[in-house]
Structure 1
Amino acid sequence: MGDVPLRFRARVRHEPDRSYAVLVEGPEGEVQVGVTRSTREVRTLAREGAARLFDVPTDRIAERHLDVEIPQPPYGRDGQWVRIVSAGASTAADDLADLGVAGQAHWFGHEGAWFVTVAGSGTAIHPSEHLDFAPVLTAAEVAELRSYLARSAPPPS
């Protein structure tokens, strides 16, 4: 067992199939430690990978000492229209309420996810895998969303 750093660094690489490759900075440089289709699993893969790279038990890699960078995916851009297509494993009514609904997405790098504003229900955080970034929207959906966004925009200063 070598020197174990005080902070552990990991980053996510967006793969062409929309999966997430998790890379951890180890003693010999950056190493890919796993791939997942769920952003919920990214931190777990990073912790487990760091433990393997530094040859320590996973519990030695404290969550508060793990920095994970998730860059904005190449298939999404701020302000674009999206459709919410999944609630993941959640069965909570508030997570299911907007399923199938169109919204406007903005990248929230701190969470590694998107702020999605939906007409009527407001803004919520959604991981990339829950969104369709090339939705076919009806004229009514676009009009409703534009109207909602115009009403909720802050007044000009």
Structure 2
Amino acid sequence: MPELPLRFRARVRHEPDRSYAVLVEGPEGEVLVGVTGSLREVGTVAREGAARLFGVPTERIAEDHLDVVIPQPPYGRDGQWVRIVSAGESAAPDDAVDVGMAGQAHWFGHEGAWFVTVAGSGTAVHPSEHLDFAPALTEGEIAELRRYLDRSAQSPS
């Protein structure tokens, strides 16, 4: 059985279908340990994969000893227009209020997700799988977003 490292390293590769391929550094190098369609599941897939690679129970891979790097996906760029298309598994009414709304997205690398600003409701964090990165926006939606963003950028007097 290989010796357990003090820290476990994993990284995500963004797949064309918006899923997340999870790769873990094991005794024989980097290995694809699983694929998930949910950002929320990336840590679990990485822990379970590391446990398999090192031949130990999952409980031996502590979350605070697992470093997961999630790079910005190739299909999104800072400042682009997006449309929120899902609230995921959340049943909270507040999470669903912006579904269907247009917004401006900025990558938030620490969370592996996007800050999305929506006119009227502000900014919230959304994973890539909840966003349409090639939305058809109306001129009215773009104008409303620009007005909202311009007002937000003005410093208070």
**Under TM normalisation by the shorter chain, which class is it?**
over 0.9
Task: Determine the C-alpha separation between the residues in 1 that align with 2:154 and 2:138.
Answer: 26
Q: The residue matched to 2:68 in structure 1 has which SS?
A: strand
Q: How does 1:59-74 map to 2 (within 5 A)?
A: 59-74=59-74
Task: Determine the C-alpha separation between the residues in 2 that align with 1:84 and 1:14.
Answer: 19
- Amino acid across the alignment from 1:70: I
Task: Determine the C-alpha separation between the residues in 2 that align with 1:149 and 1:110.
Answer: 23
- Amino acid across the alignment from 1:44: T
- Amino acid across the alignment from 1:8: F
- Over the aligned positions, Cα root-mean-square deviation in angstroms equals 0.8
Provide the identity percentage. Answer: 82
Q: Deviations over 1:109-146 (max 9, x none)?
A: 00000000001111000000000000011111111100
- Amino acid across the alignment from 1:12: V
Match of 1:75 in 2: 75
Q: How does 1:3-18 map to 2 (within 5 A)?
A: 3-18=3-18
Q: Deviations over 1:58-93 (max 9, x none)?
A: 001111111100000000000000000000011101
User: How many residue pairs were aligned?
Assistant: 155
Task: Determine the C-alpha separation between the residues in 1 that align with 2:128 and 2:43.
Answer: 16
Q: The residue matched to 2:22 in structure 1 has which SS?
A: strand
- Amino acid across the alignment from 2:43: R
Match of 2:56 in 1: 56
Structure 1 regions of 5+ residues with no counterpart? none
